[in-house]
């Protein structure tokens, strides 16, 4: 009987040890002959009753396999991955399987060096197989270094494999065995909370600090592989890893104040309406009139972010190559990509898919200065997310979806030279031919302009007039009105007015009888698409909310119509 065991050894699935015991088939020789259950201590005592040879065989098997839990980033989702490590006798090798990309494959070299530098024996004489399961989920980055290293140590008997099962690990290793931060730590923690996983999450210190923003999880911070291994030692004297604490909220970074913009009452009013209803805004005017200044002050007018909004925004920013600065947590992002940005940089893409500027601006403001200078494909790519609030990037094999509910604010000159219609204030004539002006305008497609709720002219002001103007109203005062109007919207429909869908417009944007007749005749006269009319009604809804009115009156509709006419009238 005992002699038969080693012969059977190869056919026994390795998973038989550890937590998989209940899965072992009835016919399995280990269970039927010894009735052992697969925790190491019970296993050993059961085996000792059956003779030392079997015990040794068990020990050898128990030590050659380990499972470590981790996660792979799939867009913003962090899907569970099990890192399985198997050590076998045979020609020494170190193989990584399971759709790992180059960065993950390089993990072998880092893990080998890190183990040696941390004072552990690397099983040089074994055939090491590391499987990242499920195999069809793409794995990227060095985040699997730590789980792989721990798996090898467990499979080689230097850590008890069961000790690893209550944890999830992610971390890149330096050759010296120190832990480097990983991308998307917050997304990882959010996914764990979503799965209601009961495990403890172990992360490199900087990542752990970011992830700790997610409440209700046990997150531990580690600086090195050695520290993690020490904390996993059996017995009560193992030094536990410190619990990760989020950085205290810092004083908000100073944002530019609306007070500094002089005059431009109409443009400021448009900015306030845009902020109140989360409407997209296009500022058109000659050079140096304060368009960029105004746009940069929009984020400062928006109401503070709710906790889950802030988490979603921080999780997205944490996916970008430049890691998220936790000090900016809870501040609405303001992204201003240069006009040379490609469509991929703007909407996201690449392999593995990374979020673009529109997703990094989720919950905040995307500012496109010099709008017509952007490449046409880049601008056209904005059309779908502007309506839907998310972007789906399709690659041959997979799709990745990122949220992208951003507020668009754009600025442009009225013509290539910039001075069309600005002679009175600037004394400069427009030198552009009608043809050049037409070409400049056609860089913006009709469908894109149709999606911009507010299109406002920023007039040139004579320098002398500008100098004599008093300071404007401070951002804080405007933000109060914006917050009150937003509050009405949230109470009424649970979202800002800009996000009202077509089906609910009639119910939510109820018009007084005269206002309804006025809106209809104006839309007919201006040849508006029904989208344009719907958008104007949503703007009128916001104006009424700023006014504290329940029904849309003629004045609200008239102002809304006025606010999207600039390009058509010019």
Contacts with Zn ion, residue ranges (CB under 5 A): 415, 417, 420, 430, 432
Token readout for 306 is 């709710």
Residues with Cβ within 8 Å of 438's Cβ and at least 6 positions away in sequence, in order, are: none
> Rounded CA gap, 41 and 22, in Å?
16
Mark 323-344 as b/e (b = at least 16 C-beta within 10 Å). bbebebbbbbbbbebeeebebb
Residue of 40, 158, 174, 292 that binds Mg ion (CB under 5 A): 292
Residue of 413, 426, 455, 566 that binds ligand ATP (CB under 6 A): 413
Token readout for 511 is 């018009």
Nearer to ligand ATP, 284 or 552 (CB): 284
By CB under 6 A, tell whether 263 contacts ligand ATP.
yes
Residue of 290, 330, 355, 372 that binds ligand ATP (CB under 6 A): 290
Token readout for 22 is 């209940």
Residue of 29, 157, 242, 288 that binds ligand ATP (CB under 6 A): 288
By CB under 6 A, tell whether 292 contacts ligand ATP.
yes
Residue 262 site contact among Mg ion, Zn ion, ligand ATP, none (CB < 5 to 8 Å, cut-off depends on kind):
ligand ATP
> Rounded CA gap, 435 and 115, in Å?
69
Mark 406-423 as b/e (b = at least 16 C-beta within 10 Å). bbbbbbbbbbbbbbbbbe
Q: How far is the CB of 218 from ligand ATP (least distance, A)?
A: 49
**DSSP state for residue 395 in the 8-state scheme:** -
Token readout for 131 is 């499987």
Residue of 128, 293, 366, 485 that binds ligand ATP (CB under 6 A): 293
> Rounded CA gap, 541 and 556, in Å?
8
Residue 420 site contact among Zn ion, ligand ATP, Mg ion, none (CB < 5 to 8 Å, cut-off depends on kind):
Zn ion
Residue 304 site contact among Mg ion, ligand ATP, Zn ion, none (CB < 5 to 8 Å, cut-off depends on kind):
none
Q: How far is the CB of 265 from Zn ion (least distance, A)?
A: 25
Q: How far is the CB of 112 from ligand ATP (least distance, A)?
A: 54
Quick count: other Cβ atoms within 10 Å of Cβ 176? Answer: 12
Residue 415 site contact among Zn ion, ligand ATP, Mg ion, none (CB < 5 to 8 Å, cut-off depends on kind):
Zn ion
Helix (H, G, I), strand (E, B) or coil at 441: helix
Residue nearest to ligand ATP (CB): 290
Q: Kindly indicate which of the ranges 46-54, 257-265, 396-404, 531-539 contains the residues binding ligand ATP, using the contact rule CB under 6 A.
A: 257-265
**The tokens 């003629």 sit on which residue?**
554
**Scanning residues 110 to 169, which ones bind Mg ion (CB under 5 A)?**
none
Residues with Cβ within 8 Å of 385's Cβ and at least 6 positions away in sequence, in order, are: 347, 358, 391, 404, 406
Q: How far is the CB of 303 from ligand ATP (least distance, A)?
A: 24
Q: How far is the CB of 282 from Zn ion (least distance, A)?
A: 18
Residue 432 site contact among ligand ATP, Zn ion, Mg ion, none (CB < 5 to 8 Å, cut-off depends on kind):
Zn ion
Q: How far is the CB of 437 from ligand ATP (least distance, A)?
A: 16
For 463-512, the DSSP string reads HHHHHHSPP---HHHHHHHHHHHHHHHHHHHSS-GGG--HHHHHHHS-B-
Nearer to Zn ion, 433 or 487 (CB): 433
By CB under 6 A, tell whether 262 contacts ligand ATP.
yes
Quick note: the x/- pattern for ligand ATP over 444-483, rule CB under 6 A, is ----------------------x-----------------
Q: Which residues pair with 68 in a beta bridge?
A: 83
Nearer to Mg ion, 126 or 335 (CB): 335
By CB under 6 A, tell whether 289 contacts ligand ATP.
yes
**Scanning residues 116 to 155, which ones bind ligand ATP (CB under 6 A)?**
none
> Rounded CA gap, 331 and 318, in Å?
14
Token readout for 263 is 């005059």
Token readout for 508 is 């939510």
Residue 430 site contact among ligand ATP, Zn ion, Mg ion, none (CB < 5 to 8 Å, cut-off depends on kind):
Zn ion
Residue 452 site contact among Mg ion, Zn ion, ligand ATP, none (CB < 5 to 8 Å, cut-off depends on kind):
none
For 77-122, the DSSP string reads EEEEEEEEEEEESSS-EEEEESSB-HHHHTHHHHHHHHHHHTTPPP
Nearer to ligand ATP, 164 or 410 (CB): 410
Helix (H, G, I), strand (E, B) or coil at 309: helix
Nearer to Mg ion, 460 or 560 (CB): 460
By CB under 6 A, tell whether 264 contacts ligand ATP.
yes
Q: Kindly indicate which of the ranges 20-28, 273-281, 286-294, 559-567 contains the residues binding ligand ATP, using the contact rule CB under 6 A.
A: 286-294
By CB under 6 A, tell whether 291 contacts ligand ATP.
yes
> Rounded CA gap, 239 and 223, in Å?
13
Q: How far is the CB of 566 from Zn ion (least distance, A)?
A: 16
Nearer to ligand ATP, 263 or 385 (CB): 263
**Scanning residues 297 to 336, which ones bind ligand ATP (CB under 6 A)?**
none
By CB under 6 A, tell whether 261 contacts ligand ATP.
yes
Task: Tell me if 485 sits within 8 A of 549, measured CB to CB.
Answer: no
Residues with Cβ within 8 Å of 171's Cβ and at least 6 positions away in sequence, in order, are: 143, 145, 146, 179, 180, 182, 202, 203, 204, 207, 222
Q: How many residues does the chain have?
A: 570
Q: Footprint of ligand ATP on this chain (CB under 6 A)? A: 261-264, 285, 287-293, 411, 413, 466
Q: Footprint of Mg ion on this chain (CB under 5 A)? A: 292
């Amino acid at each position: 009987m005992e002699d038969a065991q080693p012969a059977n050894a190869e056919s026994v699935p390795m998973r038989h040890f550890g937590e998989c015991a209940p899965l072992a088939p009835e016919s399995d020789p280990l269970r039927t002959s010894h009735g052992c259950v697969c925790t190491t201590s019970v296993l050993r005592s059961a085996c000792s009753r059956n003779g030392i040879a079997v015990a040794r065989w068990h020990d050898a098997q128990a030590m050659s396999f380990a499972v470590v839990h981790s996660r792979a980033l799939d867009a913003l989702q962090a899907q569970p991955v099990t890192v399985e490590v198997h050590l076998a006798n045979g020609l020494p090798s170190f193989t990584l399987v399971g759709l790992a990309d180059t960065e993950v494959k390089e993990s072998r070299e880092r893990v080998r060096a890190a183990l040696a530098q941390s004072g552990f024996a690397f099983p040089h004489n074994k055939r090491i197989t590391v499987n990242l399961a499920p195999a069809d989920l793409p794995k990227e980055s060095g985040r699997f270094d730590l789980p792989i290293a721990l798996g090898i140590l467990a499979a080689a008997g230097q850590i008890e494999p069961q000790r690893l099962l209550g944890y999830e690990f992610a971390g890149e290793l330096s050759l010296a065995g120190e832990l480097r931060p990983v991308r998307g730590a917050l997304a990882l923690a959010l996914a764990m909370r979503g799965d209601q996983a009961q495990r403890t999450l172990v992360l490199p210190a900087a990542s752990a600090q970011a992830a700790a923003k997610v409440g209700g999880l046990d997150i531990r911070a580690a600086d090195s592989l050695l520290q993690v291994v020490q904390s996993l030692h059996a017995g009560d004297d193992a030094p536990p890893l410190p619990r990760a604490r989020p950085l205290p909220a810092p004083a908000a970074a100073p944002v530019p104040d609306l007070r500094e913009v002089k005059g431009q009452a109409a443009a400021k009013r448009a900015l306030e309406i845009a902020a109140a209803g989360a409407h997209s805004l296009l500022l058109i005017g000659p050079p140096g009139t304060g368009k960029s200044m105004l746009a940069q002050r929009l984020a400062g007018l928006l109401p503070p972010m709710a906790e889950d909004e802030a988490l979603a925004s921080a999780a997205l920013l944490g996916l970008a190559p430049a890691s998220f600065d936790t000090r900016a947590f809870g501040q609405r992002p303001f992204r201003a990509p240069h006009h040379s940005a490609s469509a991929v940089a703007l909407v996201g893409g690449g392999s593995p898919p990374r979020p673009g500027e529109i997703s990094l601006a989720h919950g905040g403001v995307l500012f496109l200065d010099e709008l017509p200078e952007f490449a046409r494909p880049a601008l056209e790519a904005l059309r779908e997310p502007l309506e839907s609030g998310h972007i789906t990037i399709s690659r041959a094999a997979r799709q990745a979806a990122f949220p992208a509910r951003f507020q668009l604010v754009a600025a442009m000159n009225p013509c290539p030279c910039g001075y069309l219609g600005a002679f009175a204030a600037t004394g400069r004539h427009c030198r552009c031919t009608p043809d050049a002006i037409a070409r400049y305008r056609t860089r913006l497609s009709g469908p894109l302009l149709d999606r911009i709720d507010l299109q406002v002219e920023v007039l040139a002001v004579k320098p002398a007039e500008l100098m004599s103007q008093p300071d404007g109203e401070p951002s804080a005062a405007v933000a109060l009105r914006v917050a009150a109007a937003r509050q009405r919207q949230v109470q009424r429909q649970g979202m800002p007015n800009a996000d009202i869908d077509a089906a609910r417009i009639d119910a939510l944007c109820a018009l007084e009888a005269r206002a309804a007749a006025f809106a209809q005749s104006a839309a007919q006269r201006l040849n508006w698409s029904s989208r344009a009319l719907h958008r104007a009604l949503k703007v009128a809804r916001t104006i009424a909310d700023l006014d504290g009115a329940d029904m849309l009156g003629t004045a609200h509709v008239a102002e809304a119509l006025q606010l999207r006419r600039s390009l058509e009238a010019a």
